[in-house]
Amino acid sequence: MNRVVANLTRRVCVLAGLLVAGLAAAEPLPPTDNQKPPYLAVWKESKYQPGAINQYNQWLNRKLVWADISPCFFYTAAKTWSEVELPFDKAWGKWVAEVPGRRVILSPFLLPNDGGVSKLAIGATGAYNDHFAALAKNLVENNLGNAIIYIGPVIDWGAVGRVSSKEDAADFALYWRQIVSTMRAVPGADKLQFDWVSPGGNLGGVVEAAYPGDTYVDYIGLMFGEGSGDRHIYPYPPFASDSEKRYHQKMAWDLVECPILQTWSAFAKAHGKPFSIPRWNLSADHTRSEGFDAPYYIQAMHNFIYDADNHVYFAAYFEYYHYSWLSPTNGYTTNEPKAAAVFHDLFVLP
């Protein structure tokens, strides 16, 4: 059965590749200014917010690109519960109120980095519910009561609240239920929605055991960065031409990247949930284990997002400094100009 599914996924990805190459007649759904799914969003470093989002909208001739207002997870960790309760700048409430239709996405801290005093297993008992009630109250009071909240079972080494066993996964699922039930119960928070986000490419085992159940989930998502991790695909051969680079980018998409997306889109569909991509981006790994300035990846992701069969509700590009910044906002010049040009041409409105 798994082999049949894998073969079907491979065929779907090859068809998507043909779309990128312009060899298939079907066309992706045209983008709108976030009038209907799939909604476009962006994350940018907090020091540029929210003014940079307005510049980003101007770059794409839009008004309603949503903003991911999450703290930078690379360098920032909550040290206290008060930082869990208010992990966003209050300026965002004014930004949302200025233009009807704006919306924010937020990945709050699951636990503070307090030396291991706070734990998933304790959260699963409801002991931390007051902190998430406070978070919901702060969102409502700051005009962000329709935010999308996304949290995933963290499997990265050293991360606070790391899920490394099925016991951890069970605690995560119970903790998630506590969080969602608590936040939904806060007056005015009935429009909050919750996105359960996979931490990686593989279904089954620990990851699937962390799923809290359909009642507690509005969307199922995947954070997704370009780069196959396959040494036979990247790095590029020495002195590779543009056509050779495109060949490697296509191979990464067909054999690795697209099958992962299709797997999780199918998982969301099986649970009756829209699919989300709360963070997607190019990668600028200095070892060049990814495609770096990879316009093929941008085109393929666009086609995947706007393919109605994938049921993508929203997708947020992750514009992080020189690693994946594409737009000419804040006076920044991208390190990935070919991909940036393709991104602009595909997502700009007339």
Please tell me the least confidently modeled range out of 135-144, 177-186, 240-249.
240-249
Stated pTM of the model: 0.90
Q: Say if residues 92 and 66 touch (Cβ distance below 8 Å).
A: no
Compare 232 and 301 and report the one with higher pLDDT: 301
pLDDT at 74: 58
pLDDT at 224: 87
Q: How far apart are CA 196 and CA 186, in angstroms?
A: 20
Which residues 6+ apart lie within 8 Å of 309 measured at CB?
none
Residue 89 has pLDDT above 60, yes or no: yes
Closest CA to 77 of 160, 201, 9, 167: 160
Query: Would you list the domain boundaries of the chain?
Result: 2-347
The half-sphere exposure of 241 on its side-chain side, counting CA atoms within 13 A, is 2
pLDDT at 14: 56
Q: How far apart are CA 193 and CA 213, in angstroms?
A: 14
pLDDT at 20: 58
Residue 6 has pLDDT above 50, yes or no: no
pLDDT at 164: 85
pLDDT at 3: 43
Q: What is the mean pLDDT of residues 149-160?
A: 79
Q: What percent of the chain has pLDDT over 70?
A: 85
Q: How far apart are CA 220 and CA 299, in angstroms?
A: 23
pLDDT at 184: 98
pLDDT at 167: 92
* Residue type at 336 in one-letter notation: E
Question: Model confidence over 103-140: pLDDT tens digits?
Answer: 999 999 999 999 889 999 999 999 999 999 999 999 99
Q: What percent of the chain has pLDDT over 90?
A: 62
Q: What is the mean pLDDT of residues 199-208?
A: 73
Q: How far apart are CA 57 and CA 348, in angstroms?
A: 9
Banded pLDDT at 203 (limits 50, 70, 90): low
Compare 232 and 194 and report the one with higher pLDDT: 194
pLDDT at 323: 74
Overall residue count recorded for the chain in this entry: 350
Fold of the CATH domain 2-347: TIM Barrel (3.20.20)
pLDDT at 283: 77
Compare 125 and 336 and report the one with higher pLDDT: 125
Compare 161 and 101 and report the one with higher pLDDT: 101
Q: What is the mean pLDDT of residues 19-28?
A: 51
CB atoms within 10 A of CB 274: 19
Residue 160 has pLDDT above 50, yes or no: yes
pLDDT at 27: 62
Question: Average per-residue pLDDT in the chain?
Answer: 87
pLDDT at 332: 86
The enclosing H or E element of 316 equals strand 312-319
